[in-house]
Amino acid sequence: MSIEFLITALVVVATPGTGAIYTIAAGLSRGRRASIIAAFACTLGILPHMIAAITGLAALLYASSLAFNVIKYLGVAYLIYLAVMTWRDRSSLVAAAEEPAPLGAGRVIRTGILINLLNPKLTIFFFAFLPQFVRPGQADTVPLMLALSAVFMVLTFLVFSVYGIFAAGLRTHVIRRPRVVTWMRRSFAAAYVVLAGRLALQER
């Protein structure tokens, strides 16, 4: 495994995107545990794209404009849904911090998986990204791509967890300030809209 792959993968993972924003939002609103769950869910959401790339399904997705656009606009719709729900959320973060009830891990996991699952660019990315680090005709091509994919997923989980835990550490400084909470929610809602717009404008 080359150092070039590790550096490239780390840069790609560390660049803030939909999954990172969701993980940070989970850390700020629900705490450290929820942020780690969100990071894990976003990592799981990458898995189908990696499988598609390795098995060659990405080639079919790339060749079919209809398939690409269907998945793309499902992703756009889901991001808009998240933006609306975040903007309209009026729940108290103070109450959430003091409430010993379960944090809804199932919902956090479902949302995190869907965020990355409904992003067709991930499939295309892995289809173009992974072969760069595999020699043509290499006997162990598939095992090597699986290993590279596993490393990418580990990096994703670790970086997202750091983002989320850092956000959770700031939680106590913002949850008792209504104006900060309102600004935070609106900022995340706006970020989801921007990401939806970027996804809608992306071409194959």
What are the tens digits of pLDDT across the range 132-156? 676 655 567 778 888 888 898 999 9
Going by C-alpha positions, the residue among 100, 115, 92 that lies closest to residue 17 is 115
Confidence at residue 204, expressed as pLDDT on a 0 to 100 scale? 60
| DSSP states of 3-60 | HHHHHHHHHHHHS--HHHHHHHHHHHHH-HHHHHHHHHHHHHHHHHHHHHHHHTHHHH
Query: What are the backbone angles phi and psi of residue 154, rounded to the nearest 5°?
Result: -65, -45
Distance (Å, whole) CA 43 – CA 111: 12
Counting the structural domains of the chain, the total is 1
Output the pTM of the full model: 0.70
State which residues of the chain have pLDDT below 70: 1, 16, 57-62, 89-104, 121, 124, 128, 131-132, 134-139, 174-178, 180-181, 184, 202, 204
Domain span at residue 164?
A: 3-7+16-201
Q: Which helix (H) or strand (E) holds 69?
A: helix 65-88
